[in-house]
Amino acid sequence: MAATKKILLEIIALSHSVTQSNNYAVVLGEVNGNRRLPIVIGGYEAQAIAVSMERMIPNRPLTHDLFKNTLDSFDIHIREIIINDLIEGIFYAHLICDRNGEVIEIDSRTSDALAMAVRFDCPIYTYDHILDSAGVVLELDIEESADEPSGNQSGYYASKTSEELNQMLDDALLDENYEKAAEIRDEIKRRKGTS
């Protein structure tokens, strides 16, 4: 069997799934290409990805943080993740780990693999046959609409004072509502950018 070339991906967007309620879609984009790979994931996994991407520190470690801390304690590093198969609409992935020069491959759900990739800041790969089967070629820049806050909360937050926003951010973090916290933090960042 000939070696298959890995294709580097990056996380482009994380949004509510259009096709499945109560689920989210993470959109992976081909680096130096125009193909996108949308993957439907659960709310918990979406939260785990968003928390790490936004550099939020939860009050208690989430499961993926616990797993990262455990791997770190045993000097195991995730070098890359590979979305290596697509069977009957389900994506499969492997964590490619390194421990003292020994390469270890661990089977993983794709959503968990992505949550670990953002924590280890490691590359995400897939293969052509997966992009051919499930990828889409975007001619228009649709990612921008996926980045808009859910429920159009941006106007609501814009009407709040800085003190109110900081209090709301603290409350959202205490409630472990990281999606809301990210929206509030975006508004705080927007204000700092314009001042």
Assess whether 103 and 189 both reside in one domain.
no
When divided into structural domains, the chain yields a total of: 2
CATH code for the domain in which residue 78 is found = 3.10.690.10
Full domain range(s) for residue 166? 150-194
- Alpha carbons 65 and 70: distance in angstroms, whole number: 9
- Alpha carbons 110 and 133: distance in angstroms, whole number: 16
Residue 1 belongs to some domain of the structure: no
Assess whether 170 and 128 both reside in one domain.
no
The string of DSSP letters for 9-30 reads EEEEEEEE-SSSTTEEEEEEEE
Please write the tens of the pLDDT for every residue from 142-184.
443 344 344 445 566 677 787 777 777 777 766 667 677 777 7
pLDDT score for 110: 95
pLDDT of 140 > 50? The answer is no
Assess whether 25 and 92 both reside in one domain.
yes
Please report which confidence band the pLDDT of residue 187 belongs to, taking 50, 70 and 90 as the band edges.
confident
pTM assigned to the model: 0.67
Residue 112 belongs to some domain of the structure: yes
Q: Read off the amino acid at residue 134.
A: A
Assess whether 157 and 136 both reside in one domain.
no
Assess whether 11 and 55 both reside in one domain.
yes
Q: Is 55 left (phi over 0), alpha (psi -120 to 50) or beta?
A: left
Burial status of residue 147 (CB atoms within 10 A of its CB: 0-12, 13-18, 19 or more): exposed
- Of the chain, the percentage scoring pLDDT greater than 90 comes to 38
Assess whether 107 and 16 both reside in one domain.
yes
Residues contacting 88, CB < 8 A, separation 6+: none
